[in-house]
Amino acid sequence: MSFETISVIGLGYIGLPTAAMFAAYGKKVIGVDVSSNTIDTINRGEIHIVEPELDSIVYKAVVEGKLKAVLKPEPADAFLIAVPTPFLPIENKSNVPEPDLKFIQAAAKAIAPVLKRGDLVILESTSPVGATEQMADWLSEYRKDLTFPKTHNEDSDIRVAHCPERVLPGHVVRELVENDRVIGGLTIKCSNQAAELYKTFVKGDCVKTNVRTAEMAKLTENSCRDVQIAFANELSVICDKLDIDVWELISLANRHPRINILKPGPGVGGHCIAVDPWFIVSKTPEEAKIIHTARKINDSKPMWVVNKVKMAVAEFLQSNSSKTSKEVTIACYGLAFKPNIDDLRESPALDITKQIVEFHSGKVVAVEPNIVALPETSQHLELTNYKTAIEIADIHVILVDHKEFLGKELPGGIIVDTKGVLNKC
Ligand code: SAJ
């Protein structure tokens, strides 16, 4: 089976780089997205997301006629679905969010009319266990004239597999090529075909397994990181209570040959680590005890930081009795969800800053070297530069360890350092 035309459904942070990479390696690629803005941008050879090196790859692919973006799916030999898998609003008593597969269902519905015998459909979106089988059921519902692995095993007309993306934002272009891929087909033939397809550009191993293991592997990777970060965050709270410098503590413990503690911070952000563990918890709530607890620990960290800032304001007013809280200026350093990127989505730093703006009657400024304007929702917050912030602020809240903050002059006043930036000076 050779795949000449590949269709990628969902041209976001994963879909667009994947589409561009197939095009760069000679495939004809049809990208599909529901946003006409996205389609127009890509067809101009431009990109709508921030990802190093991606712009030139997309530009070349579009100019050479290898990549085009459309609103409505067209026939192809393989379809890769890379759409979001968000949560449903919490309605259950246990406060555990349930995954919402509506975008996967919509993608299945959209590609169903153009599916033909011999096509391969791969779900790339990070999904709860069982989602790929569910997607295949939806496809078979929409195309009763075609056969699927559930009923026809290796003889099915359509092959279906799950191949979760595992790339790190900011390093997507390199990691797409170098990382190993886990490939879980609904049957062995499905796995083999999917592996053959990824071998177009993947230099890492394409390791084959069954579909549920592939789904669980991705959730396991991100849950493992979440649990490890929760351990670090819990240590930071314990150390604060016991008046121990957590950064020194961790660096000492990490001198042990078999210990590698991650870094505490203001909480866990982004679309992946703070989301994926819930897919395990919602499926197996009785069993997923550590994973659930880790989520709660990491989710509670922003509020802990906000309380620290409240305490800092009280401390400042106590030692500056002539001032009122309206005259106290707070500077927040970093708004992105992790260092050296401009991505503010699901950022604990932004969330904390907004909460400070809400409770504090005085001025609040933010320093975020990776953006030029604040999001529209950040009312009463002022964007400024590092130099101005250290001059004007009475309380400094360090929320992200951007490279611009390391090794800099120590600000005067009270410092709430959630990232151990000061220890790296
Ligand atoms: N964080 C800490 N302490 C640490 C490391 C991270 O507090 O020691 C925080 C970060 O500040 C950030 C959050 O965790 O708020 C997540 O950042 P991250 O760099 O750990 O991960 P993501 O969300 O950018 O990307 C992860 C990666 N997964 C793993 O490393 C296991 C990536 O490989 C996945 O492809 C991606 O999720 C995804 O799409 O699922």
What ranges do the domains of the chain cover? 5-204, 222-424
What is the share, in percent, of the chain residues with pLDDT greater than 70?
A: 99
In short, whether 126's Cβ falls inside 6 Å of ligand 1 is: yes
Q: Does residue 423 carry a pLDDT above 70? A: no
Query: How far is residue 126's CA from residue 149's CA, in Å, rounded to a whole number?
Result: 21
Domain 222-424, classified CATH 3.40.50.720, yes or no: yes
Phi/psi of residue 355, each to 5°?
-65, -35
pLDDT of residue 345: 87
Going by their DSSP bridges, the two strands 395-398 and 330-333 should be labelled as: parallel
> Each residue of 190-245: pLDDT tens digit?
999 999 999 999 999 999 999 999 999 999 999 999 999 999 999 999 999 999 99
Query: How far is residue 30's CA from residue 21's CA, in Å, rounded to a whole number?
Result: 12
Q: Sorting pLDDT into bands at 50, 70 and 90, what band is 424? A: low
Answer yes or no: 239 catalytic.
Answer: no
**What is the average pLDDT value for the chain, to the nearest integer?**
95
Fold matches, 5-204 and 222-424: yes
pTM of the entire predicted model: 0.93
In short, whether 270's Cβ falls inside 6 Å of ligand 1 is: yes
Identify the bridge partners of residue 8 per DSSP, sorted by sequence position.
31, 80
- By most ligand atoms within 8 Å of CB, the mutation choice from 222, 223, 347, 401 for ligand 1 is 222
Going by their DSSP bridges, the two strands 5-9 and 78-81 should be labelled as: parallel
Domain 5-204, classified CATH 3.40.50.720, yes or no: yes
> Each residue of 41-88: pLDDT tens digit?
999 999 998 888 999 999 999 999 999 999 999 999 999 999 999 888
Q: Does residue 410 carry a pLDDT above 80? A: no
Report CA(273)–ligand 1 centroid distance (Å): 6
Q: Sorting pLDDT into bands at 50, 70 and 90, what band is 146? A: very high
Q: Does residue 377 carry a pLDDT above 50? A: yes
pLDDT of residue 89: 74
Among candidate residues 212, 162, 200, the one with its CA nearest the CA of residue 183: 162
In short, whether 269's Cβ falls inside 6 Å of ligand 1 is: yes
Query: Beta-carbon neighbour count of residue 90 at 10 Å?
Result: 11
Report CA(22)–ligand 1 centroid distance (Å): 25
């990109």: which residue's tokens? Answer: 47
Q: Does residue 133 carry a pLDDT above 50? A: yes
pLDDT of residue 425: 42
Report CA(168)–ligand 1 centroid distance (Å): 7
Answer yes or no: 224 catalytic.
Answer: no
Report CA(136)–ligand 1 centroid distance (Å): 30
Q: Sorting pLDDT into bands at 50, 70 and 90, what band is 361? A: very high
Q: Does residue 21 carry a pLDDT above 80? A: yes
pLDDT of residue 379: 78
Q: Does residue 177 carry a pLDDT above 90? A: yes
> Each residue of 238-275: pLDDT tens digit?
999 999 999 999 999 999 999 999 999 999 999 899 99
Q: Which long-range contacts (CB under 8 A, 24 or more apart) does 241-244 make?
A: none
